[in-house]
């Protein structure tokens, strides 16, 4: 492990502080719409650059650790950028940047170029702060704080220019989130009472010394907490009722990032604090049910956004398979799938927003003929749809292949889970084909009028905004780039998976060399 310079070790803190500073400056400059846009874009570009530097540094020299206030772990708060956290921070910030560009043009088209916002830009950057902190924090309580920052910001975003429908969906989202937060805080209290620490590296030393029954109970509580955040079966019921009613950029950001932060938290805690030496039958069963229930739920929908929300739930199950296998190849497959899915799911919701904006409806039965009216929009939907279904040679195929190999190598249960992956992928392909046939084929239909012009969604415009189209296309390009760079990316995730299973690189970086987890 190569020692890092003082400047490099400060970068994780800068990645968290920059969006906070940007949010504050955006509030101060709330009278200038142009200034708010510049601040948001510059901040996210800088955080993306920092994440790229941290990824290279962590891959070459081991985790980059920042001791806040100069207090060493486990007493002080630390931020840790290893291969996994830096990679997810990079792809998440790039997606956030594209979504912001989309949202900026949407606001210009709907409200005019000179109309500033006292809430959108600051809250958007505050949500980015929570995501960055969740990926980089090295202790459970700071992870709780990160989730609360994301909850507060997401509630504001989901209920801006409030309607009755948005209030209902927002209430569902907030009540479930607050319940999971209360359970999370209770779990942290139990963990601290049992071990005397909340530092993740220190917990890797102390939790194995607890009685096995107590360790199992604490591990299950953690799985339930993050299972709610990630929307795994049967804790997924809140998501299809909450996401579809928000504006397209907000839904894209939620679908792309928030559930993946829950998966990341599961990955981190289950490999570092509650490791297994064999595949988890419970997680494999939950993964299989999540995949199938989500895919079948999607097939029952006629609302495009609800259909995509159920597919989001289904593909959370794919990520659980790699974690359930509990070996380096499985964890690496999950990491690769998360990177792919962050991009493709956000893209699909942005494209859904363009479709709704043009047609005036989210009902796929009321659409038709978009291929003739907007071939570019049809292409923009087709590529991420095929990627989500895992058609070769897309990034979805590469990621699913990694999970299939890990599942087949994990015995009978893992092989059955691999079979469910194939089945759920076929259901996804069928759902996407059904959308394609009803939305893009057939006779073109006149756009429906906006039945609620006072809400945040302006629809029925019969046109596609160029900057919004370009922002969506940029994310499609990122997805294609992931497929093109699948080899090097798979090597990075393989090394990240090995680090997670070994645990020693993370523990040594945080607590000091020579301290090896049992």
Mean pLDDT across 159-168: 67
DSSP string, 389-437: HT-TTSHHHHHHHHHHHHHHTTHHHHHHHHHHHHHHHHHHHHHHHHHHH
* 259 and 304 inside one domain: no
Q: CA 502, 503, 506, 510: dihedral to nearest 10 degrees?
A: -140
* 127 and 182 inside one domain: yes
Burial of 499 (0-12, 13-18, 19+ CB in 10 A): buried
Choose the weakest-confidence range: 150-164, 206-220, 364-378.
Answer: 150-164
* 223 and 286 inside one domain: no
Smallest Cα–Cα separation from 46: which of 77, 20, 80? 20
Whether the CB-CB separation of 140 and 132 falls below 8 Å is answered with no
Residue 286 has pLDDT above 70, yes or no: yes
pLDDT of residue 291: 94
- CA distance to 457, 490, 494, per residue, from 322 (Å): 38, 14, 12
Written as six digits, the tokens of 27 are 């509030």
Whether the CB-CB separation of 500 and 272 falls below 8 Å is answered with yes
In a domain, residue 510? The reply is no
> Domain range holding 324?
277-502
pLDDT of residue 443: 76
* 312 and 431 inside one domain: yes
Written as six digits, the tokens of 44 are 């996210």
Burial of 446 (0-12, 13-18, 19+ CB in 10 A): exposed
Rounded to whole angstroms, the Cα distance separating 314 from 79 reads: 32
Listed residues 216, 245, 275: the one ending a domain = 275
Smallest Cα–Cα separation from 504: which of 488, 518, 490? 518
Q: Where are the alpha helices (DSSP H) in 62-163?
A: 83-111, 120-136, 140-158
- Please, what sign has the CA dihedral across residues 405, 274, 74, 51? positive
* 283 and 368 inside one domain: yes
* 195 and 282 inside one domain: no
pLDDT of residue 454: 52
């509650």: which residue's tokens?
274
* 364 and 260 inside one domain: no
* CA-based radius of gyration for the chain: 22
**pLDDT: which is higher, 83 or 158:** 83
pLDDT of residue 460: 46
Written as six digits, the tokens of 98 are 């594209």
* 334 and 360 inside one domain: yes
pTM (global) more than 0.85: yes
Listed residues 275, 309, 329: the one ending a domain = 275
* 271 and 287 inside one domain: no
Choose the weakest-confidence range: 89-93, 246-250, 381-385, 483-487.
Answer: 246-250
Written as six digits, the tokens of 427 are 């259901």
Work out whether strand 64-67 and strand 78-81 pair parallel, antiparallel, or are unpaired: antiparallel
Rounded to whole angstroms, the Cα distance separating 180 from 212 reads: 25
Mean pLDDT across 21-28: 92
Mean pLDDT across 93-98: 94
| Domain count of the fold of the chain | 2
pLDDT of residue 517: 42
């987890």: which residue's tokens?
517
Rounded to whole angstroms, the Cα distance separating 112 from 95 reads: 25
Q: 425-457, pLDDT tens digit by residue?
A: 999 999 999 998 888 887 777 666 555 555 555
Mean pLDDT across 172-184: 86
In a domain, residue 217? The reply is yes
The mean pLDDT of the chain is: 86
In a domain, residue 517? The reply is no
In a domain, residue 516? The reply is no
Written as six digits, the tokens of 365 are 């039965």
In a domain, residue 508? The reply is no
Q: How confident is the model at residue 516 (pLDDT cuts 50, 70, 90)?
A: very low
Smallest Cα–Cα separation from 103: which of 119, 88, 86, 85? 119
Rounded to whole angstroms, the Cα distance separating 214 from 257 reads: 32
Q: 300-353, pLDDT tens digit by residue?
A: 888 888 999 999 999 999 999 999 988 888 899 999 999 999 999 999 999 998
Residue 263 has pLDDT above 90, yes or no: yes
Smallest Cα–Cα separation from 320: which of 460, 431, 420? 420
Mean pLDDT across 247-272: 89
Listed residues 245, 275, 305: the one ending a domain = 275
Whether the CB-CB separation of 166 and 159 falls below 8 Å is answered with yes
Rounded to whole angstroms, the Cα distance separating 335 from 492 reads: 10
Written as six digits, the tokens of 336 are 């690769």
List 199's β-bridge partners, or say none: 139
Choose the weakest-confidence range: 75-84, 420-429, 448-457.
Answer: 448-457
Residue 406 has pLDDT above 80, yes or no: yes
* 379 and 286 inside one domain: yes
In a domain, residue 518? The reply is no
- CA distance to 305, 309, 350, per residue, from 241 (Å): 10, 9, 18
Residue 458 has pLDDT above 60, yes or no: no
In a domain, residue 511? The reply is no
Smallest Cα–Cα separation from 16: which of 93, 71, 87? 93
* 185 and 219 inside one domain: yes
Q: How confident is the model at residue 84 (pLDDT cuts 50, 70, 90)?
A: very high
Percent of the chain with pLDDT over 90: 42
Residue 190 has pLDDT above 60, yes or no: yes
**pLDDT: which is higher, 173 or 212:** 212
* 197 and 327 inside one domain: no
Give residue 362's region: left, alpha or beta (phi > 0; psi -120 to 50). Answer: alpha
In a domain, residue 515? The reply is no
pLDDT of residue 162: 61
């Amino acid at each position: 492990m190569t020692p890092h310079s003082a400047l490099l070790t400060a970068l994780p803190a800068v990645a968290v502080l920059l969006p906070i500073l940007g949010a504050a400056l955006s509030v101060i400059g709330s009278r200038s719409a142009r200034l708010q846009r510049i601040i948001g874009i510059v901040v996210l570009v800088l955080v993306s650059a920092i994440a790229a530097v941290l990824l290279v540094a962590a891959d070459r020299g081991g985790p980059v650790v920042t001791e806040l206030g100069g207090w060493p772990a486990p007493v002080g708060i630390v931020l840790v950028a290893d291969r996994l956290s830096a990679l997810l921070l990079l792809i998440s910030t790039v997606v956030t940047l594209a979504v912001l560009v989309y949202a900026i043009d949407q606001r210009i088209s709907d409200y005019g170029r000179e109309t500033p916002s006292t809430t959108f830009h600051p809250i958007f950057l505050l949500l980015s702060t929570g995501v960055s902190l969740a990926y980089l924090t090295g202790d459970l309580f700071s992870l709780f704080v990160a989730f609360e920052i994301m909850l507060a910001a997401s509630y504001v975003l989901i209920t801006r220019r409030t309607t009755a429908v948005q209030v209902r969906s927002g209430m569902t989202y907030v009540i479930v989130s607050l319940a999971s937060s209360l359970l999370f805080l209770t779990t942290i209290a139990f963990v601290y009472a049992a071990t005397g620490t909340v530092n993740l590296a220190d917990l890797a030393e102390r939790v194995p010394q607890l009685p096995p029954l107590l360790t199992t109970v604490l591990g299950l509580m953690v799985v339930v907490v993050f299972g709610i955040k990630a929307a795994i079966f049967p804790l997924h019921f809140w998501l299809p009722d909450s996401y579809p009613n928000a504006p397209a950029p907000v839904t894209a950001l939620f679908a792309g990032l928030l559930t993946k932060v829950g998966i990341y938290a599961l990955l981190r805690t289950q490999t570092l604090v509650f490791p297994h030496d064999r595949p988890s039958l419970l997680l494999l069963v939950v993964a299989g049910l999540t995949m199938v229930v989500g895919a079948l739920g999607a097939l029952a929908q006629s609302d495009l956004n609800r259909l995509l929300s159920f597919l989001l739930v289904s593909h959370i199950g794919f990520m659980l398979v790699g974690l359930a296998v509990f070996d380096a190849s499985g964890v690496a497959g999950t990491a690769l799938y998360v990177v792919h899915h962050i991009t493709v799911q956000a893209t699909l919701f942005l494209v859904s927003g363009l479709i709704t904006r043009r047609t005036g409806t989210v009902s796929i039965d009321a659409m038709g003929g978009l291929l003739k009216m907007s071939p570019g929009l049809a292409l923009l939907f087709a590529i991420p749809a095929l990627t989500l279904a895992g058609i070769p040679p897309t990034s979805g195929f590469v990621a699913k292949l990694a999970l299939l190999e890990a599942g087949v190598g994990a015995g009978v249960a893992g092989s059955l889970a691999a079979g469910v992956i194939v089945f759920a992928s076929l259901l996804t392909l069928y759902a996407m084909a059904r959308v394609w046939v009803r939305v893009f084929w057939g006779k073109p239909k006149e756009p429906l009028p906006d039945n609620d012009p006072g809400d945040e969604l302006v629809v029925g415009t019969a046109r596609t905004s160029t900057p919004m189209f370009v922002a969506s296309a940029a994310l499609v390009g990122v997805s294609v780039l992931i497929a093109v760079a699948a080899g090097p990316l798979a090597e990075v995730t393989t090394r990240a998976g090995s680090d997670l299973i070994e645990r020693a690189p993370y523990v040594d970086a945080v607590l000091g060399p020579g301290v090896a987890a049992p």
